[in-house]
Amino acid sequence: MLPREFPQRSVSPTEALAALHALGGRQVRYEDGRVLNSICTRPLPVAIEAFRRFAHTNLGDNRLFPAAVELEQAVVGMIADLVEWQGAVGNLVSGGTEANLLALWAAREQGRSPRAGRPEIAAGLGVHFSVEKAAALLGLELRRARLDGRGRTDIEDLEACINENTVALVATAGTSELGAVDDVEAVAELGRRHGIYVHVDAATGGFLIPFARGLGHRYPRFDLGVPGLCSITIDPHKYGLSVIPSGCVLFAHPRIQELVAWDSHYKGTQRHTTLLGTRPGGAAAATFAVLTTLGRPGFERLVAECFARRDLLVSELGQRGFTLVTSPELTIVGVRCADPDDVLRRLEEQGWFASVSRRLQALRIVVHRHTPPERLVEFVDALCGVQQGLVAVGGTA
């Protein structure tokens, strides 16, 4: 147990670091290949080094750290280019939660009208819980539409959720639960028809889909050529291999971003368009380092590798008689189990970290670069062992 009183004596940096080193042993290491619940991974070494070099910089102060702010805007431009949102404006933020919050804040402001009634937003049931948090903070009612058999928002049901109070529709390009990709074009069309703001949450899919397309996979479009899209979330700290905290929000037009712009207290300091004031320049440097060292070929290799592993996992699961919730579009696999909580607990006792979808009551397995193919096969062996154990003790798994 670490001390919780304020230190009354000083220790050397070596001692402080030794204490941290000792703690490392109590955490799960991505490198062991047993983390199957996380969309995040160990950042590339170059990202960690870049973060270290810019650790003192603050994106909230453009006068002191113009280079960090330039790095931020370069990265925003690169990400906009990647998802074909050229000309969009945006910021690096703390993650998907802040990005979704900013987007829905802008939507609420844009949708303000003298109409009576509490403002509402509508999204599919697969929407990330960060949207629930944003709705709670912004005083928005969240209406949820059914999903189709593949975990995508049912567009007819989404339209049925729209009423005169609706200020935004949220489409997800890669749900955290199943990696499902909504028909964003259809959601944008609803937005246009009803005059409603459309936000795309590509926190998880943003760094997968553009490269997977390059490998021949097909997904719905969510580029700016789709009329009606207003903002998008894409997180470098997920499949972008950057450090935590690195999220990104883009707005289709500066006038939308203006809705969440605040004058600084100080003359000569930029207007803030993020929730946080003091923001890590280290994150901008780290993401810059990752995007430039990997480039499109590096990311395509990575995504090809993750997809090949996913296919291996799916085939191993199929051979052992497991049923999938649906065939995965990205790197998240849902597996039907009679008692997924028990399965999860038993797997965890053996050092495997998967997760359980609360809504689907299914085991959720995330494939990432830190889990090599042989580990995935071992994992399926462990899963079989656990299932057989449950049946042997009279369970119905």
Judged by the rule CB under 6 A, the positions of this chain that interact with ligand 0PR are: 37-40, 95-97, 100, 128, 130, 172, 176, 201, 203-204, 235, 247
C-beta of 281: minimal distance to ligand 0PR in Å?
A: 19
Residue closer to ligand 0PR, measured from CB, 37 or 387: 37
C-beta of 353: minimal distance to ligand 0PR in Å?
A: 8
Residue closer to ligand 0PR, measured from CB, 238 or 272: 238
- The strands making up 332-336's β-sheet, listed across from edge to edge, are 332-336, 362-366, 355-357
Residue closer to ligand 0PR, measured from CB, 130 or 273: 130
Residue closer to ligand 0PR, measured from CB, 181 or 390: 181
C-beta of 95: minimal distance to ligand 0PR in Å?
A: 3
Amino acid in the structure at residue 320: R
Residue closer to ligand 0PR, measured from CB, 71 or 332: 332
Residue closer to ligand 0PR, measured from CB, 63 or 358: 358
Residue closer to ligand 0PR, measured from CB, 100 or 371: 100
C-beta of 388: minimal distance to ligand 0PR in Å?
A: 28
C-beta of 98: minimal distance to ligand 0PR in Å?
A: 7
C-beta of 387: minimal distance to ligand 0PR in Å?
A: 24
C-beta of 182: minimal distance to ligand 0PR in Å?
A: 11
